Structure formats: structure tokens, C-alpha cells
Amino acid sequence: MTQLQIDRAVARRTGESLDTVRALGFNLMTETDEGDSEFVQDDGYCLDCPGCGAAVALTSGPLETLPEFAECPGCDAVYSYAPHEVYDAALAVCA
């Protein structure tokens, strides 16, 4: 499930706008071996290419290492992006 799919599902269910849901930063949760819930936080961030929709890897490090522009290897596009478009790489298979 991609971050966009999560955000759309939450927006439909709550009646909030997609921008509001993105600003709140919903994420998938996973169950640990003990049965307690915790957020999955892997280093690295992606975003969806506006041209072809593929998940594009931005960085494998922290948010501070995000590049100014994203480059999609699928459609060979280079573009700027907004912070709300970026999501945790653990939620997608990045190109």
C-alpha cells in the first residue's frame, strides 16, 4: 500500500481533505512479536512520480538529506516536489 493510498483511504473515511490528511502524516502500523503495536520507521524517503506514478527513491538517509529535485528513472523526468509528497520508503518499492 502506498502513502497516497493510505491518505486517500483516511480522507474518504474521515471526510477530511487529502491535504489535511497528508499534513497529519498517517502511516502503516505493524504488530511486533510480543503483540504490541509500533510504527515502522525505516530510513529513506520516496515520492510518486507525477508523470508515470512510479515510486521514486529520494534518499536512503534522514529528511535532511533530501535532494532539491527528484529524478524518475522510469520516465526520465526531473522535477521539483513539495514536502507533503514525500513518504517513508518502507511504504513502497522505490525505483
* Cβ-proximal residues to 16 (8 Å cutoff; 6+ apart), any chain: 10
How far apart, in Å, are the Cα atoms of 15 and each of 11, 44, 52, 77, 85?
A: 5, 30, 28, 34, 20
Cell output for 43: 530510513
pLDDT of residue 70: 92
- Least confident stretch, 2-6, 28-32, 65-69: 28-32
**pLDDT tens-digit readout, 27-38:** 776 554 444 444
What gap in Å lies between CA 78 and CA 39, rounded to an integer?
31
> What value does the mean pLDDT take over residues 53-68?
84
